[in-house]
Structure 1
Amino acid sequence: MTTTNTAIPESAHYTGEERSKRILAIVGASSGNLVEWFDFYVYAFCAIYFAPAFFPSDDPTVQLLNTAGVFAAGFLMRPIGGWLFGRVADKHGRKNSMMISVLMMCGGSLLIACLPTYHSIGAWAPALLLVARLFQGLSVGGEYGTTATYMSEIALKGQRGFFGSFQYVTLIGGQLLAVLTVVILQQFLSTDELKAYGWRIPFVVGAIAAVISLFLRRSLKETTSAEMRKNKDAGSMAALFRDNKAAFITVLGYTAGGSLIFYTFTTYMQKYLVNTSGMDAKTASYIMTGALFVYMCMQPLFGMIADKIGRRSSMMWFGALGTICTVPILMTLKTTSNPFVAFILITLALAIVSFYTSISGLVKAEMFPPHIRALGVGLAYAVANAVFGGSAEYVALSLKNMGMENNFYWYVTVMMAIAFLFSLRLPKQPKYLHHDL
């Protein structure tokens, strides 16, 4: 693998004031990203407490399956959100799209926090819960593409990998804060109190945080010009597939593998440690909380590495190492009962994934011209994420249930090999974004 340096050397292009403004813009954009993911994932962590309020049943499993179905519906809204907000971002500006996105997430969280229960309004309760979740799914589906595009465009030249990595810092941070909020509530409220009203508190916190993020995003600098937004092809699906079909397929190809391995070693891994490795659920939670924290902290480091060796090389290392190491790591985890060994192996896997996640938004943004960039990034990500990332846990558990769990390891490996092959299609020098701003 080559290590061609595609980074633009830092020079005197920026005054101190301009540097400060751009860094503040990164903070504003990434703060909204953190809030979006906090609001989206707090639903999953609180489901065990609010499930009986919306889906009365004598069987707790049925209750959780119903809440999981609503969660999945939100996940499936992501492609629509990627298209809708990508179009808004390209035709009406990145700033407007990000403000609408976080406002929609705020509305969804506030609605869930205030929803009457099944006991009060009957079937309207789960129906309204579904509506709120669909709003959140749309919002988070549009958040990734627009934020990735904006952060890539506003980041300082020569340091785009470093600054772009904060998208995943805040994405993972949102998940960790959601867990932490629930853990804190568990220390102060009893299980009965959490089921009665305590589960509403995280949604109120998320709604308030979204309002704060909205004000931060109001001050963002727009990265598109009026001329670009007036382009007849801005945000056009026809233009995307007419002129940029190859770029779209390339992004789809490596995002499929990237999403699959990301969800394998994050959201699914806790269940894997319990169901396959035979660890205690609390121990698995501790392992994953620690691993995710380290993973979050690794993102800027791997972003800096990409600035040094080039985005294409970083993506190739991701594909190659993922192909070589996935089966050995999962097979070893399957047989280990040592929490420290499990932590080291999962952290190693997440380090490999970091070659991709630290620069994923940036690499995608560099594939598309400005007038359809947000649409191309958002839609390609959302489709691949919904199909491959969203199905990771289902596929893994289904194969385990059929007694063919090892086949899942090879499935991930094959997708990583495909990601490597698509990484070879990346240009050695970025076609777009290289000279933007």
Structure 2
Amino acid sequence: MTDTGPIAAAHTPLPSRASVRQLVAASIGNAVEWYDWYAYSFLAVYFAGQVFPKGAGNSLVPLLSTFAVFAVGFFMRPVGGLLMGAVADRRGRRAALTVTILLMGGGSLLVALTPTYAATGLLAPVVLVIARLVQGLSVGGEFAASTTFLVESAGPGRRGLFSSFQYVSTTIGQLVASGISALLAHLLSDGQMSGWGWRVPFLFGAVISLVGFWIRRGAVETRSEEQRTAPRPGLFEALRRHPRASLLICGITAGGTIAYYTWTTYLPTYATVNAGFDKGDALTVGTISLAFFAVLQPLAGALSDRIGRKPLLLGFAVGFAVLAVPLLHRITSAFVSLLLVQCAGMVLLTGYTAVAAAVNAEVFPARVRAAGIGFPYSLTVALFGGTAPYVGTWFKQAGHPGWFPWYVSALCLVSACVYLVLPETARRPLDR
């Protein structure tokens, strides 16, 4: 796993053309990673009944069980963030990125091959849980390594722009997952989708993971020579030496992750369960709004390089704290209602997603940057982002669907308080 590829010169940003190549390598690999991860949430409504038995008279039990596994995968993310972050800090960003994409492809293949409960009983949910644990390990490491890689590859005054491609590529992967899911939903009957159609996107994800691995093998390592020759940091060094920075990452992420997973992942299911929205149409709305979201990212990232990160972060957090409840209550069974609500939320959400990678990377020194970001970020995402679909569905089952929008609003208000005291880092030189 030792990196033997080309190394960026110490303290010297990569040339412009090389930076673009780095951007492409990181983005393509990241898109593949997140395609595999998000296919699960888009297809949950189809395979839930195949893997989990229904409770007595309650049709929501399989869906709840499937989203519980979704959350379990998230709780492997802190482990992945810590371990793969340590690999990135010790062996190189590129080494970590090649490992994470192989793990994701293997997990996706395992989901595709998951047997049904009717055929194998408890083995079916066990296989699904193992697959999501592997994918959770991969995704936890992916954000830490790719965030560090992207920001370190950026030239002066372009860290916000480059960091925005973390979510451009994430959204492209999610968009492809949503698009393929929507296409299959329209081409196949519900019975075919539940029977075998849901497996196709996971098989595709396993294949394209190999393509992403090949692309990442050719990337340029961004660790400086000084970092390569320095003593390797301990596994928990970032937490021990930088506790305030670790807490800042948690506060920065809490509101962003609940809003992100609600608006980009759970909203189609929320509309289906709470407003009787057609499942196929909900996936179509999600695909359209994700394309709109991807276009916004580099525009906002470049803007943050000019005006700073804090104005965008505060706009996001205050906007969601005030508007999350009325927006979610506006969803009806009409196609246009979900489309408008999802796109409006995407505009607000961009204030967080376009700059999150840059802000996180600017908080930690280079020596422990990947592991320093990986663990607190992934832990916060696991606690609030990964549980969003489960919490929303649980509120519905408990007879209080109106509580979930208030939950989203409250977490965004907490992050708004953190953004107020956060130092502006846009114009500070990046520690290398």
Asked if TM exceeds 0.5, the reply is yes
Change (3 A) 1:156 1:209: same
User: 1:31 aligned to 2:49?
Assistant: no
Write out per-residue CA displacement over residues 138-174 of structure 1, whole angstroms, 9 at most, x where no aligned residue.
Answer: 1011111111111111122212212211111121221
Q: CA deviation at 1:404?
A: 4.7
- 1:416 corresponds, among 399, 405, 412, to 412
Q: 1:345 is paired with a residue of what secondary structure?
A: helix
Q: CA deviation at 1:313?
A: 2.5
Change (3 A) 1:131 1:226: farther
Structure 1 counterpart of 2:320, which letter?
G
User: 1:132 aligned to 2:131?
Assistant: yes
Write out per-residue CA displacement over residues 172-194 of structure 1, whole angstroms, 9 at most, x where no aligned residue.
Answer: 22122112223334455555555
Q: CA deviation at 1:390?
A: 1.9
Count residues in correspondence. Answer: 419
Q: CA deviation at 1:47?
A: 4.1
Describe how 1:97-116 pairs up with structure 2 within 5 A. 97-114=96-113
1:291 corresponds to which residue?
Answer: 289
Deviation larger for 220-229 or 91-100: 220-229
Describe how 1:278-357 pairs up with structure 2 within 5 A. 278-331=276-329, 333=330, 339-357=335-353
- 2:368 corresponds, among 356, 369, 372, to 372
In the alignment, the residues of structure 2 paired with residue 376 and residue 165 of structure 1 have an alpha-carbon distance, to the nearest angstrom, of: 20
| 8 Å Cα contact 2:71/2:382 also seen in 1 | no
Structure 1 counterpart of 2:245, which letter?
A
Q: CA deviation at 1:234?
A: 2.1
Write out per-residue CA displacement over residues 256-293 of structure 1, whole angstroms, 9 at most, x where no aligned residue.
Answer: 11111212222232233344445444443333332222
In the alignment, the residues of structure 2 paired with residue 56 and residue 401 of structure 1 have an alpha-carbon distance, to the nearest angstrom, of: 17
Q: 1:221 is paired with a residue of what secondary structure?
A: coil
Describe how 1:10-21 pairs up with structure 2 within 5 A. 18-21=15-18
User: 1:41 aligned to 2:38?
Assistant: yes
User: 1:90 aligned to 2:86?
Assistant: no
Q: CA deviation at 1:367?
A: 0.1
In the alignment, the residues of structure 2 paired with residue 262 and residue 387 of structure 1 have an alpha-carbon distance, to the nearest angstrom, of: 13
Deviation larger for 174-183 or 40-49: 40-49
| 8 Å Cα contact 1:86/1:235 also seen in 2 | no
| 8 Å Cα contact 2:102/2:213 also seen in 1 | yes
In the alignment, the residues of structure 1 paired with residue 50 and residue 307 of structure 2 have an alpha-carbon distance, to the nearest angstrom, of: 53
User: 1:248 aligned to 2:246?
Assistant: yes
Change (3 A) 1:366 1:42: same
Change (3 A) 1:397 1:200: closer
| 8 Å Cα contact 2:181/2:201 also seen in 1 | yes
Change (3 A) 1:348 1:112: closer
Structure 1 counterpart of 2:81, which letter?
G
1:79 corresponds to which residue?
Answer: 78
Deviation larger for 73-82 or 106-115: 106-115
In the alignment, the residues of structure 1 paired with residue 46 and residue 337 of structure 2 have an alpha-carbon distance, to the nearest angstrom, of: 32
Q: CA deviation at 1:120?
A: 6.6
Structure 2 counterpart of 1:107, which letter?
G
User: 1:258 aligned to 2:256?
Assistant: yes
In the alignment, the residues of structure 2 paired with residue 246 and residue 186 of structure 1 have an alpha-carbon distance, to the nearest angstrom, of: 47
User: 1:208 aligned to 2:204?
Assistant: no
Identity level (%) = 38
Describe how 1:48-59 pairs up with structure 2 within 5 A. 48-51=45-48, 54-55=51-52
In the alignment, the residues of structure 1 paired with residue 404 and residue 382 of structure 2 have an alpha-carbon distance, to the nearest angstrom, of: 18
2:171 corresponds to which residue?
Answer: 172
Structure 2 counterpart of 1:252, which letter?
C
Structure 2 counterpart of 1:155, which letter?
A
5+ residue gaps in structure 2? 1-11
Note the aligned Cα RMSD (angstroms). Answer: 2.9
In the alignment, the residues of structure 2 paired with residue 116 and residue 327 of structure 1 have an alpha-carbon distance, to the nearest angstrom, of: 39
Q: CA deviation at 1:435?
A: 3.9
In the alignment, the residues of structure 2 paired with residue 350 and residue 297 of structure 1 have an alpha-carbon distance, to the nearest angstrom, of: 11
TM-score by structure 1 length?
A: 0.85
In the alignment, the residues of structure 2 paired with residue 256 and residue 393 of structure 1 have an alpha-carbon distance, to the nearest angstrom, of: 15
In the alignment, the residues of structure 1 paired with residue 46 and residue 399 of structure 2 have an alpha-carbon distance, to the nearest angstrom, of: 32
5+ residue gaps in structure 1? 1-12
2:358 corresponds to which residue?
Answer: 362
Change (3 A) 1:104 1:414: same
In the alignment, the residues of structure 1 paired with residue 427 and residue 239 of structure 2 have an alpha-carbon distance, to the nearest angstrom, of: 17
Deviation larger for 78-87 or 398-407: 398-407
Q: CA deviation at 1:399?
A: 4.0
In the alignment, the residues of structure 2 paired with residue 303 and residue 197 of structure 1 have an alpha-carbon distance, to the nearest angstrom, of: 40
Structure 2 counterpart of 1:345, which letter?
V
| 8 Å Cα contact 1:80/1:141 also seen in 2 | yes
Q: CA deviation at 1:298?
A: 1.0
In the alignment, the residues of structure 2 paired with residue 145 and residue 246 of structure 1 have an alpha-carbon distance, to the nearest angstrom, of: 18
| 8 Å Cα contact 1:168/1:296 also seen in 2 | yes
| 8 Å Cα contact 1:367/1:431 also seen in 2 | no
TM-score by structure 2 length?
A: 0.86
Change (3 A) 1:389 1:224: same
In the alignment, the residues of structure 2 paired with residue 79 and residue 115 of structure 1 have an alpha-carbon distance, to the nearest angstrom, of: 25
- 2:384 corresponds, among 388, 399, 405, to 388
Deviation larger for 361-370 or 384-393: 384-393
Change (3 A) 1:271 1:14: closer
| 8 Å Cα contact 2:163/2:355 also seen in 1 | yes
